[in-house]
Structure 1
């Protein structure tokens, strides 16, 4: 069983809970374990919040009014990707290794939280058109009464 969906959302704070609710509703309907759904929805919220806050302008100075969320629920894995058209991550800031964020930091915990909640995370820049991409996946556990479970 496979489900996928893609949203193009306005770069506004109200888009974050919209994406989260859609993911939670999809996961609940499919029969994904609520703890897994919660982890993925929290990671999605963090990635969307980053796109809203940091996906502001392209390298040429144009305003970026939207970002994209794509989710795939395929077999026993869920993969989520959040991409914007902003300037992307500065050179040297793309991370693949987990590192702690100082307790006194006022921001910067979102990517670390995503890394803690997901099984695999890729943080980078889009090739060609520019912008940041945060993708993450997690092995899915199904409820015993899941209508769409693999098995």
Structure 2
């Protein structure tokens, strides 16, 4: 079985739960184990929140007022991509800054959390050019009562 969808969303906070609900609904319908579904939905929420907050200057141009979410459920794997057109992740010695935020920080844990929840994470960072693409994969587990598998 293969399911994929893509959304073009405005960089608004209300878009985050919309993307999350669509992913959870697709995984529930397909029969994905609820724990796997939850991990992926939290990771997606973090990636979307990053795109909303850091994905560009909405006042500057229309393309930075939106971001894209694509999800693929293909066989035993789920891949999710969140792409924005913002300024990119600040670089530190040629690498994107990926480190745990201080304990008292109100933000800065999103990418670290995605790394913990997914099996594989890839970040394409193009500061000043075309923003950031965060993609992550997770091996799927299925509920035993999955109707789509009983064919």
TM-score over 0.5 for the pair: yes
What are the residue-to-residue correspondences of 1:1-151 with 2, within 5 Å?
Answer: 1-57=1-57, 61-62=60-61, 64-92=64-92, 93-94=95-96, 99-125=99-125, 130-149=130-149
Give structure 1 regions of 4+ aligned residues with deviation exceeding 3 angstroms: none
Secondary structure in 2 matching 1:148: helix
Alignment: residue pair count:
147
Asked whether the equivalents of residues 28 and 34 of structure 1 are also in contact (C-alpha less than 8 Å), the reply is yes
Asked whether the equivalents of residues 94 and 124 of structure 1 are also in contact (C-alpha less than 8 Å), the reply is no
1:99-132 deviation per Cα after TM superposition (whole angstroms, max 9, x unaligned)? 43321222111111111100101122259x6111
- RMSD over aligned Cα atoms: 2.3
Asked whether the equivalents of residues 76 and 150 of structure 1 are also in contact (C-alpha less than 8 Å), the reply is no
Q: 1:150 to 1:90 in 2, by over 3 A?
A: farther
Secondary structure in 2 matching 1:40: helix
What TM-score, normalized by structure 1, do the two folds share? 0.88
What TM-score, normalized by structure 2, do the two folds share? 0.88
1:6-56 deviation per Cα after TM superposition (whole angstroms, max 9, x unaligned)? 000011000000000000000000000000000000000000000000012
